[in-house]
Amino acid sequence: MRRRRFIGAGAAVAAAAALGARAQGGLAPSQDLTPFIAKITGGKPVERGGIEIEIPAVAENGNSVPTRIRVASPMSPEDHVDAVHVFAPRNPRPHVATFHLGPQAARAEISTRIRLAGTQKVTVLAALSGGRFRLGDFEVLVTSAACLDESSL
Amino acid sequence: MLIGRLQVPASVRKGEAFEVRVLVQHPMETGFRRDMNGGAIPINILDKVSCRYAGREVFSAELGSGMSANPYLSFFLRADASGEIEVTWSDDRGEKGRATATVTVA
């Protein structure tokens, strides 16, 4: 008898999980970041790599996702990171933040907490001294998206 | 006045990197949420943070609605000389706040 009930409960949980997945699928699709990036780079070439984005691969709560960004750079007056731009393409406003560093910043490393409206590829654009640019991204699975109620807007 | 906290190590060795941690109390209201009566809650974002070390700006940030409520920031500075670290912040309504800490370079 109890086993029946247990199986029934399990099925209900599975159904709820499937429903949750569908609800997330109904969120806004990923926006194309090309215009955002082009506005910053001004059409200059962008390299890949050299950026480490540390986010838990599965974020339980999209309202507060701990994020650490590290850009490989000696941070000397000649060769340093000028700015770090963070994008979340599936957020209603994809541009999350911009951090301005300089040679006085000892390391090109920033930790913060961001909002993520659903599973998406967090993208970081680093502006280096001398007009060079680097791009990196990291796929995050978000179990409970930030501000789900806005999906109905 | 927006309340916030600033944490730096009390003493650092010259030339070494040290971590500056900032936490500001702010709702970071996105403008997308609705209240109990269905009316839109107006947007209210802490959009500027700036850090000065010995009178010179060494770090600044422009934040958007994608930052979590009560924004937290951590970054690294190089210990050049003993001095005051001043972090100021302001939101889109012109509310401001600041915090200071003294770092001693040994």
What CATH code is carried by the domain that includes residue A13? 2.60.40.2470
Task: Return the DSSP state at A118.
Answer: S
A139 contacts A123 by C-beta, under 8 angstroms: no
The domains found in chain B, sorted by start residue, are 4-105 (2.60.40.10)
How far is it, in rounded angstroms, from Cα A86 to Cα A20?
Answer: 27
Q: What is the pLDDT of residues A12-47, one digit of tens each?
A: 555 555 444 444 445 678 889 999 999 999 989 999
Q: What is the pLDDT of residues A98-145, one digit of tens each?
A: 999 988 899 999 999 999 998 999 999 999 999 999 999 999 999 888
Q: What secondary structure does DSSP assign to A66-115, as a single string? A: EEEEEE-----SSS-EEEEEEE-TTSSS-EEEEEE--TTSSSSEEEEEE-
Q: What is the pLDDT of residue A147?
A: 62
Q: What is the pLDDT of residue A1?
A: 52
As a residue count, chain A comes to: 153
Q: What is the pLDDT of residue B49?
A: 97
How far is it, in rounded angstroms, from Cα B47 to Cα B28?
Answer: 9
How far is it, in rounded angstroms, from Cα B88 to Cα B4?
Answer: 9
Q: What is the pLDDT of residue B25?
A: 96
A68 contacts B72 by C-beta, under 8 angstroms: no
Question: In DSSP terms, which residues pair with B86 in a beta bridge?
Answer: B52, B100
Q: What is the pLDDT of residue B4?
A: 96
Residue A148, pLDDT above cutoff 70: no
How far is it, in rounded angstroms, from Cα B105 to Cα A131?
Answer: 33
Q: Return the H-helix or E-strand segment holding B25.
A: none
Nearest residue to A134 (alpha-carbon basis) of A73, A91, A90, A74: A73
Tell me: ipTM over 0.85.
yes
pLDDT < 70 stretches in chain B: none
Q: Given CB atoms, is A86 within the 8 Å cutoff of chain B?
A: yes
How far is it, in rounded angstroms, from Cα A133 to Cα B55?
Answer: 29
Structural domain span for residue A59: 2-152
Q: What is the pLDDT of residues A66-107, one digit of tens each?
A: 999 999 999 999 999 999 999 999 999 999 999 999 888 999
Q: Please answer yes or no on whether A97 and B78 come within 8 Å at the CB atom.
A: no
A33 CA: distance to closest CA in chain B (Å): 15
B102 contacts B11 by C-beta, under 8 angstroms: no
Q: What is the pLDDT of residue B87?
A: 97
Q: Residue A153: which of B32, B67, B77 has the nearest Cβ?
A: B32
Q: Given CB atoms, is A39 within the 8 Å cutoff of chain B?
A: no
Q: Residue B77: which of A93, A96, A104 has the nearest Cβ?
A: A104
Q: 3-state class of B49 per DSSP? A: strand
Domains contained in chain A, number: 1
Confidence of residue A151 (pLDDT cuts 50, 70, 90): very low
